[in-house]
Amino acid sequence: MNIDSRNKLIKNGWKIIRKDDYPEPRIKIATGSNGAWSTLEKYKSKAERDRMFKVLLTADKTIDD
Protein backbone atom coordinates (compact mmCIF):
# COMPACT_ATOMS: atom_id res chain seq x y z
CA MET A 1 0.00 0.00 0.00
CA ASN A 2 1.41 3.41 -0.88
CA ILE A 3 1.36 6.47 1.37
CA ASP A 4 -1.52 8.16 -0.47
CA SER A 5 -3.76 5.11 -0.04
CA ARG A 6 -2.78 4.86 3.62
CA ASN A 7 -3.58 8.53 4.21
CA LYS A 8 -7.03 8.14 2.58
CA LEU A 9 -7.87 5.28 4.92
CA ILE A 10 -6.65 7.14 8.00
CA LYS A 11 -8.61 10.24 6.97
CA ASN A 12 -11.76 8.09 6.82
CA GLY A 13 -11.32 6.70 10.33
CA TRP A 14 -9.33 3.52 9.62
CA LYS A 15 -6.45 2.41 11.85
CA ILE A 16 -3.47 0.71 10.22
CA ILE A 17 -1.29 -1.33 12.56
CA ARG A 18 1.84 -3.44 12.24
CA LYS A 19 3.99 -5.65 14.42
CA ASP A 20 7.56 -4.65 15.24
CA ASP A 21 10.27 -6.51 17.14
CA TYR A 22 13.03 -3.93 17.47
CA PRO A 23 14.07 -2.81 20.04
CA GLU A 24 11.31 -4.76 21.80
CA PRO A 25 8.00 -6.38 20.83
CA ARG A 26 5.47 -3.66 20.09
CA ILE A 27 2.56 -2.66 17.90
CA LYS A 28 2.89 0.44 15.77
CA ILE A 29 0.13 2.55 14.23
CA ALA A 30 0.28 4.67 11.07
CA THR A 31 -0.10 8.34 11.95
CA GLY A 32 -0.71 9.68 8.45
CA SER A 33 1.97 12.36 8.65
CA ASN A 34 4.58 11.70 5.96
CA GLY A 35 4.23 7.95 6.31
CA ALA A 36 5.23 8.02 9.96
CA TRP A 37 4.50 5.25 12.44
CA SER A 38 4.28 5.61 16.19
CA THR A 39 4.31 3.02 18.95
CA LEU A 40 0.81 2.10 20.06
CA GLU A 41 1.96 -0.21 22.87
CA LYS A 42 5.03 -2.18 24.03
CA TYR A 43 4.92 -5.79 25.24
CA LYS A 44 7.07 -8.12 27.34
CA SER A 45 6.95 -10.92 24.76
CA LYS A 46 6.11 -11.56 21.11
CA ALA A 47 3.35 -13.95 22.18
CA GLU A 48 1.67 -11.25 24.27
CA ARG A 49 1.99 -8.78 21.40
CA ASP A 50 0.57 -11.28 18.89
CA ARG A 51 -2.45 -11.96 21.11
CA MET A 52 -3.22 -8.25 21.37
CA PHE A 53 -2.66 -7.79 17.63
CA LYS A 54 -5.41 -10.34 16.94
CA VAL A 55 -7.74 -8.56 19.35
CA LEU A 56 -7.10 -5.19 17.69
CA LEU A 57 -7.83 -6.64 14.25
CA THR A 58 -11.35 -7.61 15.34
CA ALA A 59 -12.34 -3.92 15.20
CA ASP A 60 -14.27 -3.03 12.05
CA LYS A 61 -11.94 -0.26 10.90
CA THR A 62 -8.56 -1.72 11.84
CA ILE A 63 -6.29 -3.41 9.29
CA ASP A 64 -2.72 -4.66 9.28
CA ASP A 65 0.01 -3.35 7.02
Q: What pTM was estimated for this model as a whole?
A: 0.90
pLDDT greater than 90 at residue 60: yes
DSSP 20-58: E-SSSSEEEEE-SSTT-EEEEEE-SSHHHHHHHHHHHTT
Domain spans of the chain, in order of start: 3-64
Which pLDDT score, from 0 to 100, does residue 59 have?
98
**Omega before 25 cis (within 30°)?**
no
Which pLDDT score, from 0 to 100, does residue 32 have?
83
For the segment 10-50, what is each residue's pLDDT rounded down to a tens digit?
999 999 999 999 999 999 999 987 889 999 999 999 999 99
Q: What single-letter DSSP state applies at residue 59?
A: S
